[in-house]
Amino acid sequence: MPHDHHDHDHEGMSPSGHPYRPDQDAPLTRFQKMEIAVRELLVEKGVATEAEIADQVARMDARTPARGAAVIARAWTDPAFKARLLEDGSAACTEMGAPVDALRLIVVENTPEVHNVIVCTLCSCYPRNLLGLPPDWYKQRAYRSRTVIEPRKVLSEFGLDLPEDVTVQVHDSTADMRYLVLPMRPEGTEGMDEAALAALVSRDAMIGVAVPKV
């Protein structure tokens, strides 16, 4: 009987029988206080308004991996665009209405011989304009340190077992560049249009910890 709770202590449970979750009642950290102080000063001194700050947060939240997937699908269907993308990633993305801002984008192509994977060992550099905010694991020390030491084991834990004859090429984003993996177009997608192809391209495939599947 799944809801037979007679032997259990109901203290700390909601009326529906689920545990209460604590709210953020802990004191503010130093960096939370600094963020609030800087934000209030920017408003007080007329540098930015609250509405402008909220708009900027909304703009940042609106960036999702769909942008990156659209770029990949275009590269799969338009060889001239793919050539431009590999030559100058920033210019090709600007052409598609997804500028990379001040940073430069390097697109690395997976082939039957080479599989690429992106990491930032120093912090969490990530092509946010194309993929949105990075996943938590991308920022954690386990992924950041292990990907340069034992990339095959890490990929295997993501469910990606590479053949022994494929070379793994790790890219550590240590400075001003941002990286995007151009995965191989899966077999069996010959008749698909750009929108259908884009739906196959996951965030993880563009980081290099997965490959697109039909």
What's the CA angle centered on 42, arms 128 and 27, to 5 degrees? 80
Closest distance of CB 136 from other proteins, Å: 22
Q: Active site residue: 14, 16, 90, 120, which one?
A: 120
Reference 208, options 109, 136, 71; nearest CA is 109
3-state DSSP percent of the chain in helix, strand and coil, to 5? 40, 10, 45
Between 88 and 95, CB nearer to other proteins: 88
Cα dihedral angle (169, 182, 63, 212), rounded to 10 degrees? -100
Binding residues for other proteins (CB under 8 A): 104, 106, 121-122, 148-153, 164, 167-177
Closest distance of CB 167 from other proteins, Å: 6
- Please confirm, yes or no, whether 125 is among the known catalytic residues: yes
Between 47 and 175, CB nearer to other proteins: 175
Closest distance of CB 5 from other proteins, Å: 49
- Please confirm, yes or no, whether 93 is among the known catalytic residues: no
Closest distance of CB 179 from other proteins, Å: 9
Q: How far is 67 from 10, CA to CA, in rounded Å?
A: 48
161 DSSP assignment: -
Between 43 and 177, CB nearer to other proteins: 177
Q: Active site residue: 14, 123, 145, 156, which one?
A: 123
The tokens of 77 are what?
A: 């269907």
User: What's the distance, Cα to Cα, between the start and end of the chain in Å?
Assistant: 41
Reference 137, options 116, 114, 156, 154; nearest CA is 154
Q: How far is 177 from 210, CA to CA, in rounded Å?
A: 22
Between 9 and 164, CB nearer to other proteins: 164
Indicate which residues carry an active-site annotation. 120, 123-125
